[in-house]
Structure 1
Amino acid sequence: MSIKIADKPRRRRRSPEEARREALASARDLLLSGGPNAVTLAAVAGEIGVTHANLIHHFGSAAGLQSALMGSMVADLNDALDAAVARLRTDEGAPLELINAVFDAFSTGGAGRLAAWIALSGDLSHLEPVREAVQNLVVAIQEKIGLGGDRSDEIIGSAVLFIALSAFGEALIGDPLREMLGQSDDASRRVVASLLPAFLTMHPRS
């Protein structure tokens, strides 16, 4: 009986931009499948078929690779939020679509693990580029539902906070919790969708 040995990725010539892009894509896959500890220069080099020295040339160090990955994923999160804003501003846009967009960004998009990683690193400055996208989301919801008044920012901000924290929790621990409670895959999204109107009609404390 012969034993089949998995083929290693063949090394090939890449432009600097291509090599960097492939390395970040591999690092992202490793983060989503194995967590932050899986994102190492050796692991990425093995995945894409380059030398350890080659990655050092592009990123300087493991910390440089991880920082670049954070930046890339934050940019993707920004794009996802911008897309949610654009969709919300169309006639077809609906609150449930907004919830799905945010939940998708945190789960399949990897923003949940990214946010946890950044928080544990202690350097929250990596999240600063998301600030404008979050603020744009608040404005888009205000425009969509026609909510005015001095406290509209606080009301909408509470709603966005509720959606984002729920999506974050679902991305990190949703699967085992739903299994323990016998809930369906979309249970968290349905709970948020059912409670969201309460946030939009709340009366903030003075």
Structure 2
Amino acid sequence: MVSRKRLTPEESRSSALAAARALLIETGPQAVTLKAVSARIGRTHANLLHHFGSASGLQKALAEHIARTVCETILQAVHASRAGMGSAREVVDLAFDAFDREGAGALTSWMLLTGNDDALDPIISTIHELLDELTPDEPEEHLAERRLHRDTLSLVLMALGDALIGGALAKSLELPRDAARERATAMLEASLAGHQQA
């Protein structure tokens, strides 16, 4: 009989989230169940219940994990872009890839369709933290006026929409598959140019 390595609670949770993310990307959001994740990591269903409480809890934790990872990557790209080492297109590609290739778009829409109304909370709170880090000197009362907040709203909506229907819509309109990315890049470049002039 092979003995399983004893994991710390953090390692066990991290392992479960990595397996859930892999299932999401490989098979789709409907595959992210406690049973499937526990089978993949060789742990019991009860072990995952202890960490997440339910399948809904696992999915919400996965959304938060994806959002945090995506935002950290986008933050690095924005800092690089501001320092002249990156480009608006790199930021756009990171956001679009997060919703498309990393599965955040499918997970978000599936959770909303299955009645998990607070599915976007971890994504929104993580993006809010990202924006606060990028614009820490701006007072809270000027939140609605922040150009970066408006740009991020547009970028996230475009990336989510592109992940869900971008391919079919571009084909229907006889546009290149990356047409939405091009539009998002032009928007971000214009905004960055305006910010530098201000």
Task: Tell me the TM-score normalized by structure 2.
Answer: 0.72
Q: Secondary structure at the match of 2:5?
A: coil
Match of 2:45 among 52, 63, 68: 52
User: Contact 2:70–2:94 (CA<8 Å) still a contact in 1?
Assistant: no
Q: Distance in 2 between matches of 1:73 and 1:162?
A: 19
User: Could you say what secondary structure the match of 1:184 adopts?
Assistant: coil
Change over 3 Å in CA distance of 1:51–1:196 after alignment to 2: closer
**Structure 2 residue aligned with 1:133, among 130, 136, 151?**
130
> Counterpart of 1:145?
none
* 1:131-171 Cα deviation digits (max 9, x unpaired): 1203444x49xxxxxxxxx9x94544433322221111111
Equivalence map 1:8-157=2 (5 Å): 12-16=4-8, 17-117=10-110, 119-120=112-113, 121-123=116-118, 124-126=120-122, 127-137=124-134, 139=135, 153-157=145-149
Larger RCO of the pair (alpha carbons < 8 Å, separation 6+)? 2
Structure 1 residue 75 displacement after superposition: 1.7
Alignment match, 1:160: 152
When Rg is computed on C-alpha atoms for both structures, the one with the higher figure is 1
Q: How far is 1:27 from its partner?
A: 1.0
- Alignment partners' CA distance in 2, 1:158 and 1:173: 22
The separation in 2 between residues aligned to 1:11 and 1:113, in whole angstroms, is: 36
| Alpha-carbon distance between aligned partners in 1 of 2:64 and 2:172, rounded to the nearest angstrom | 35
The answer for the alignment partner of 2:139 in structure 1 is none
Separation (CA, whole Å) in 1 of partners of 2:78 and 2:193 = 21
Aligned length: 183
- Name the residue aligned to 1:7: none
Change beyond 3 A, Cα 1:201–1:81? closer
The answer to whether the 8 A contact 2:19-2:37 is kept is yes
With over 3 angstroms needed to count, the CA separation of the structure-2 counterparts of 1:164 and 1:82, relative to structure 1, is: same
Alignment deviations for residues 42-101 of structure 1 (CA, whole Å, 9 cap, x no partner): 111222233323323333332332232222222212312321232122122322222222
Q: Which runs of 5+ in 1 are unaligned?
A: 1-9, 141-149
Q: Percent identity of the aligned residues?
A: 40
The answer on whether the counterparts of 2:63 and 2:108 sit within 8 Å (CA) in structure 1 is: no
